[in-house]
Amino acid sequence: MEAILSSFLTKYNYWVFIGLVMIGMYALIAKRNLVKKIIGMNIFQTAVILFYVSIGAKQGSTIPILDSGHGHDAHHAVQAIDYINPLPHVLMLTAIVVSVATLGVALALAIKVHQQYGTLEEDEIAAQIDKP
Amino acid sequence: MIWPVDLIIMLLVMVSGIGAIMVRDLLGAAVLFGVYSFLMCLLYAIMGAVDVAFTEASVGAGVSSVFFVAAVFRTSRRTKD
Amino acid sequence: MRFIALITILLMGGLLFYGLPDFPDWGDPASPASTHVSPYYIEHGAADTHAPNIVTAVLADYRGYDTMFETAVIFSAGLACFFLLRTFRQKSAETKLYRHIPTGVTLRIEKGGKTPAGSEEFEPIDSHWVPYDMIINMTCRLIVPFVQLFALYVIAHGHYSPGGGFQGGVIFGAAIILFAISHDLRSVFRRLQEKTAILLSAAGVLIYAGTGVLCLILGGNFLDYSRLAGLLGVDAVMARSHGILIVEIGVGLAVMAVMVMLYYNLSSAGRHDEGL
Amino acid sequence: MSLLDIIATAMIALGLFFFLGGAIGILRFPDFYSRLHPAGKLDTMGQFTALSGIALYLLNDLSLGSVLTALKILLIVVFVFITSPTATHAIVDAGVRAGMTPWTKETREEGRR
Amino acid sequence: MQAIFLYASVFLACLMGLSLYRSVFGPTVLDRIIGVNAIGSKTTTLLILIGLIYERVDMFVDIALAYATLNFIAVLAASRYFQKKKGLFDEVEGR
Amino acid sequence: MSANTKPDNPNNPIDYQAYSPFKPFEPPTPPERSPLPYFFTFCVCMITWLVLSGKFDLFHISLGVVSSAIVTYTSGDMLLRARRLKGLPGNWLRFIAYVPWLLFEIFRANMHVMRLVFHPRMMDLIDPRMFRFQSRLEDETARFIFANSITLTPGTITVYVSIFGKYTVHAIDKASGQGLPGEMEDRVGAIFGE
C-alpha cells in the first residue's frame, strides 16, 4: 500500500497535468461559447506542454546551457547527467509559438462567425442555421 | 526542481484555469487566461526549461492576451456560461 | 450536455490516473526520454556547433528540418487569417469623421456626403475614438526602441543565453503591437505596411529554406551548415554556428511579421481602418 | 555572511514586506480606485527594493559578468519605474471612462442609513 | 543565502495567491486587471529569485527583462477596450 | 463634436468636461529632418547593447551596430523630439539630481499607504476624492515626469492630463492631496528651466 501511495505522491506534477487536461476538455465539450472553447483548447495545449517539460526534468541538475562559453576546448568532458534533457524543450518551444498562430486563426474564425450570425453561442447559431 | 514553490504555483495554476473557464464575462476570461499564462511561465522556469519559459513569457505577456482582447472587442463580451 | 461532459472527463481523468504509476518519476535521470538521444546532444552539442545553449543547437541544427516546417506552419497561419478576415470592400454606410489638421475642427460627414479624401489638410479619424493620452503615448515612445533592441539582442545571442528566433520575433512583434495600441492603426501603417509585413514573413521562410538549398548546392545534405565554411571563410564548427544564426534571423522575421499581420486583421476585423 | 549579504538580505526582506502590503491592500480596500493605490505604489517599491538587494548580492564577486548582470537588473528597475505608473494610469482612466462611481465617505454613510 | 532565497520565493508565491483571489473573484473586470498587474510584478521578482536558486542568474535575467517590458501590454489593451466601448456592465448578462 | 465621452450615469461626480476630445494639433512639421534624434537613438542603443550583450569581440559588436541601425531606422524619431541639442545635457543632469528626492518621497508615500493598509480601522481613515488643478508646466516631457511622479507619491494617482495642463487627480485621503501642486511642481519645473 505504501509503495503505491509513495508512487502517487512522487508524481504530483502529473496530477496537475491530469487536472489541466480535464479542465480543458470540459471547456471544449460543455461550454457553448466559442471563445470559451478556444480558451479550453489553449489550456489543453499548455497541459500537454507541461507534461513534456516535466518528463525532461532531472533531479539535481542544472539548465541546459553549458557553463563556459568555449565548450569545444573540452578541458573536462560534459556529463549528460549534469544537464536537464533539452529535447522536450525544443519540441515544446516551437509548439508554443505554433499554438499562438493557431489561436489567431481560431479567433479569426470566431470573428467571422460573429459577423455572419451576430452571436458566439453555439445553440443560437444552430437555431439560426436550422430556421430557414 | 524547487518543490515547495512548484507545489504552490501548481495549485494557483489550477485555480486560475478553473477561473478562466468559469467567469461569466469574456473579457474577464481573457484577463484570467493572461494570469494562467504568467503562472505557466513560472512553472517552466522552475522545472529548468529556460527557453520554454522565455517563449511562454513573451507570448503570454505580449501577444496572446492582446489577441483575445482584440477578438472580444470585435465580437461581444456576452456569454451564457 | 454538461452531464455527458462531466462523465467523459471523469472517465478520461480516471484512465490517466490509473496509468499514473507507469509514468516516470519526476526528476528521474533514467527516464526513457532522457536516455536515448539526448545524452548525445548534451555531450556533443557545444563541440559540434559552438553553441553552449544546447536547445538552440538542437532546434536549428540537429532538428532543423522540423523547425523549418514549424515556421512554414506559422506562415500559413498568418495567410489563413488574412484570407479569412480581410475585406477590401469599402463600407460607406456609416458616417465618417475627418479632422482639419491646421485648426483641429472635426468634420462629420453623413452618408452620401462628399468626403475630403486625398486632401492633405484633412485626416480621417475613428468613429469611436479615444482622445490623445499624453502619458501612454510618451511611455510607449520611450519603451518601444528598447524593446526592439532587446528583441534583436535575443535573436543574436540565442547561442549563449536563452532566446532565439522565436522569442525575438515575438518580442519584436509585441513592440509593434504596443505602438499600435498606444497610437492608432494608421500611424503603424505609416511605418509598416500590410504588404511589407506579408513580404517579410515570406522572406523569413525563404531565408530558412534558401540556406538549406544552398547547403544542398554546395554538396552537402539539406541544412548541413558545415558546407558553408568555404563561403563564410571560417572552419566547419564556426560555420555551423553562423548557419544557426542565419536560420534564426529567418525565423525571427517570419514570426514577427505573422504576429503583426494577425494583430492587424484581428483588431480591425479585416477592414484595416481602425484598430483596438 | 559578509556585510554585503546582510544588507542584501535586509533589502529583500523589506521588498517582501512591501509586496505583502500591496497584496493585503488589494484585498482590503473598499473600491476600485482606492485599490489602485497599493497596487500601483507598493508593488513598484517592492520590486525596486528587492531587485536592488539582489543586484547588491550579485556584487559579491566582482567579475565582469556579475557586474553586467547587476546592471541588467537595474535596467529592469528603470523599466518598471516607467511602465508601472503608466499601467496604473491606464487602468484608472479606463475606470473613469467606463463610468465607475468612486467610493467616498458619503456613499458609506448612505449605506449605513 | 540559498535558504533565504528559497523562503523568499515561497513567500512571494503565497502572495501571488492573495492577488489571485482578487483577479478570480473581483467584482468587475477592472479589479481583475489590477490583480493581473500585481501578479505580473511579483512574477518578475520571482523569476530572478529562481535564477538565484539555480545559481544561473545571468540566464534568467533576460526572461525577467522581457517580462518587465511586456507585462503592461495586456493591461493597456484591456484599458483601451474600456476607453472605446464605454460601459462596464451593459454587455454582460446576469448582473 | 461627435465623439461622445459622457457616460450615462448622471450621479457621477467626475467632471467629464476635463476630458478634451481633441488631439493636440501639431503644426505641420517642417520638411527638414534633423539627423540629431537619429544619432542620439543610435548612441543610446549602442550603449544598451553593450550592457545587454556582455561580449566584446568584433563579431558581436558588429552585430550590435547592425541592430542599432535597424532600430534607428524603424523608430529613430521616437526617443527624442527636440531638434537641437541645446539644454539637453543640463536637463539630464538636473533630472538625475531630482531622482534621489523622488525616491525619498516615494519611500515616504509607501510608508503612508502601508500604515493605511495595516490599520485596523482603515475605513475611517481613508477619504477618497477626485480633484483637479491647473499646472503651469508647458513642456510635454515635464508634464509626463510630473504626472508619473504624482502617481508614485503620497496617496495620489493621476487620472487624466488635458492638453492644456489640467490635471485630474485621485487622492486616498485629505492630507495626501493638499500638497499638490507644490514643491514637486517647482522641482520638475526647475529641471526644464520653467
Kindly state whether D93 is in contact with chain C, defined as any CB-CB distance less than 8 angstroms: yes
Kindly state whether D15 is in contact with chain F, defined as any CB-CB distance less than 8 angstroms: no
Q: Residue for cell digits 500559413?
A: C76
State the DSSP code for F22: P
Q: Distances in Å between the alpha carbon of C41 and those of C26, C248, F190?
A: 21, 19, 60
Best probe of the D interface among C130, C136, C154, C157, by most D CBs < 10 A, is C136
For D30-61, letters b (16+ CB in 10 Å) and e give ebbbbbbbbbbbbbbbbbbbbbbbbbbbbeee
- Backbone dihedral region of A59: left (phi > 0), alpha (psi from -120 to 50 degrees) or beta? beta
pLDDT value of position E88? 62
pLDDT value of position C75? 93
Find the mean pLDDT for residues F121-150. Answer: 81
Do F105 and F69 lie in one domain? The reply is no
* Minimal-distance CA residue of chain C relative to F148: C135
**Gap from D71 CA to chain F (nearest CA, Å):** 7
Residue C264 has pLDDT above 50, yes or no: yes
Contacts of D50 in chain E (CB under 8 A): 8, 45
- Least confident window among C143-157, E16-30, F10-24, F64-78: F10-24
pLDDT value of position C254? 93
**Gap from A108 CA to chain C (nearest CA, Å):** 6
**Gap from D113 CA to chain E (nearest CA, Å):** 23
Contacts of D47 in chain E (CB under 8 A): 41, 44-45
Best probe of the B interface among C38, C148, C161, C167, by most B CBs < 10 A, is C167
Best probe of the A interface among C22, C54, C265, by most A CBs < 10 A, is C54
pLDDT value of position F90? 81
Chains C, D: CB pairs < 8 Å: 15
CA-based max dimension of chain D? 67
**pLDDT-derived band of residue C203, with 50, 70 and 90 as boundaries?**
very high
Structural domain including F157 reads 88-191
**pLDDT-derived band of residue A107, with 50, 70 and 90 as boundaries?**
very high
Find the mean pLDDT for residues C175-179. Answer: 91
pLDDT value of position A72? 46
**What count of residues does chain E have?**
95
**pLDDT-derived band of residue E94, with 50, 70 and 90 as boundaries?**
very low
**Gap from E86 CA to chain F (nearest CA, Å):** 7
Q: Report whether C9 contacts A22 (CB < 8 A).
A: yes
B4 vs E7: CA distance, rounded Å? 9
Range 121-140 of C in CB contact (< 8 A) with E: 128-130, 136
- Least confident window among C23-32, C93-102, C200-209, F20-29: F20-29
Question: What are chain B's partners, defined as 3 or more CB pairs within 8 angstroms?
Answer: A, C, E
Q: Report whether B67 contacts A112 (CB < 8 A).
A: no
Residue C219 has pLDDT above 80, yes or no: yes
User: Are 3 or more Cβ–Cβ pairs between A and B shorter than 8 Å?
Assistant: yes
Could you say which of F42, F62, F86 is where a domain stops? Answer: F86
Higher pLDDT among residues C122 and A119, named by residue: A119
pLDDT value of position F7? 42
Give the mean pLDDT of chain C.
Answer: 84
pLDDT value of position F17? 44
pLDDT value of position D10? 92
Residue F27 has pLDDT above 70, yes or no: no
Higher pLDDT among residues C160 and E91, named by residue: C160
For chain F, the domain total comes to 2
Could you say which of F57, F86, F115 is where a domain stops? Answer: F86
D38 vs F111: CA distance, rounded Å? 11
Residue C46 has pLDDT above 60, yes or no: yes
Q: Return phi, psi of residue F157, to 5°.
A: -130, 130
Interchain contact, B61 vs E66, CB within 8 Å: yes
Q: Which among C142, C106, C136 is positioned nearest to C122, based on CA atoms?
A: C106
Interchain contact, D102 vs F128, CB within 8 Å: yes
Q: Which among B27, B22, B19 is positioned nearest to B69, based on CA atoms?
A: B27
Domains along chain A? 2-58+84-130 (1.10.287.3510)
Say what percent of chain D tops pLDDT 70: 94
Q: Report whether A81 contacts C67 (CB < 8 A).
A: no
C268 vs C264: CA distance, rounded Å? 6
Kindly report the CA angle at C94 between C93 and C96, in degrees rounded to 5? Answer: 125
Residue A18 has pLDDT above 70, yes or no: yes
pLDDT value of position F6? 42
Residue D88 has pLDDT above 50, yes or no: yes
Nearest to E28 among D32, D65, D90 (CB): D32
Cell of F127: 477619504
Residue C11 has pLDDT above 90, yes or no: yes
Chains B, E: CB pairs < 8 Å: 129
Find the mean pLDDT for residues D51-62. Answer: 88
Higher pLDDT among residues B30 and C110, named by residue: B30
Task: Give all strands (DSSP E) within chain F, no chain letters.
Answer: 129-134, 156-161, 166-171
Chains C, E: CB pairs < 8 Å: 41
pLDDT value of position C129? 65
Instruction: List, as one string, the DSSP characters of F141-157.
Output: HHHHHHHHHHHHSTTEE
Q: Which among E76, F18, F79 is positioned nearest to C275, based on CA atoms?
A: E76
Interchain contact, D27 vs E22, CB within 8 Å: yes
Q: Report whether B2 contacts A13 (CB < 8 A).
A: no
Interchain contact, A93 vs B37, CB within 8 Å: no
Cell of C36: 536515448
For chain D, the domain total comes to 1
User: Are 3 or more Cβ–Cβ pairs between B and E shorter than 8 Å?
Assistant: yes
pLDDT digits (tens, 9 = 90+) for C62-101: 888 889 999 999 999 999 999 988 888 766 556 677 777 6
pLDDT value of position A10? 75
Give the mean pLDDT of chain A.
Answer: 84
Nearest to A55 among C33, C46, C53 (CB): C33
Q: H or E element: which one contains C109?
A: strand C106-109
Q: Which among F8, F21, C95, A104 is positioned nearest to B74, based on CA atoms?
A: A104
Interchain contact, F140 vs C138, CB within 8 Å: yes
**Gap from E93 CA to chain B (nearest CA, Å):** 7
Nearest to C156 among F25, F63, F141 (CB): F63
pLDDT value of position E82? 83
pLDDT digits (tens, 9 = 90+) for E35-90: 888 888 888 898 899 888 888 888 888 888 888 888 888 888 888 888 877 666 55
- Least confident window among C150-154, D100-104, E40-44, E54-58: D100-104
pLDDT digits (tens, 9 = 90+) for A42-66: 999 999 999 888 888 888 788 888 8
Best probe of the A interface among E56, E60, E63, by most A CBs < 10 A, is E56
CA–chain centroid gap for B3, Å, is 21
**pLDDT-derived band of residue F84, with 50, 70 and 90 as boundaries?**
low
pLDDT value of position A61? 81
Q: Where are the domains of chain C?
A: 24-88+133-267, 93-132
**Gap from F30 CA to chain E (nearest CA, Å):** 32
**Gap from A75 CA to chain B (nearest CA, Å):** 25
For C62-73, letters b (16+ CB in 10 Å) and e give bbbeebbebbee
Find the mean pLDDT for residues F27-39. Answer: 66
* Minimal-distance CA residue of chain B relative to E78: B69
Edge-to-edge strand list for the sheet holding F156-161: F129-134, F166-171, F156-161
- Backbone dihedral region of A77: left (phi > 0), alpha (psi from -120 to 50 degrees) or beta? beta
Structural domain including D93 reads 3-112
Find the mean pLDDT for residues F55-79. Answer: 88
Higher pLDDT among residues B3 and E15, named by residue: E15
pLDDT value of position C23? 81
- ipTM here: 0.90
Give Cβ neighbours of residue A45 (< 8 Å, ≥ 6 apart): A24, A95, A99
Higher pLDDT among residues A28 and A3, named by residue: A28
Residue C269 has pLDDT above 50, yes or no: yes
CA-based max dimension of chain E? 53
Say what percent of chain B tops pLDDT 90: 10
**pLDDT-derived band of residue C141, with 50, 70 and 90 as boundaries?**
confident
- Least confident window among C22-31, C201-210, F30-39, F73-82: F30-39
- Least confident window among B31-35, D10-14, D96-100, F92-96: D96-100
Find the mean pLDDT for residues A101-112. Answer: 91
**pLDDT-derived band of residue F4, with 50, 70 and 90 as boundaries?**
very low
Contacts of A65 in chain E (CB under 8 A): 56, 59
pLDDT value of position C148? 92
**pLDDT-derived band of residue E93, with 50, 70 and 90 as boundaries?**
very low
Residue F175 has pLDDT above 80, yes or no: no
State the DSSP code for B79: -
Interchain contact, C145 vs F45, CB within 8 Å: yes
Kindly state whether B36 is in contact with chain E, defined as any CB-CB distance less than 8 angstroms: no
- Least confident window among C165-179, F12-26, F59-73: F12-26
Say what percent of chain F tops pLDDT 70: 76
Could you say which of F42, F59, F86 is where a domain stops? Answer: F86
State the DSSP code for C11: H
Give the mean pLDDT of chain B.
Answer: 87
Residue F16 has pLDDT above 70, yes or no: no
* Minimal-distance CA residue of chain A relative to E53: A62
Q: H or E element: which one contains C122?
A: strand C122-125
pLDDT value of position A43? 92
Find the mean pLDDT for residues F33-52. Answer: 86
Residue D47 has pLDDT above 60, yes or no: yes
Say what percent of chain C tops pLDDT 90: 29
- Least confident window among D63-72, F95-104, F122-131: F122-131
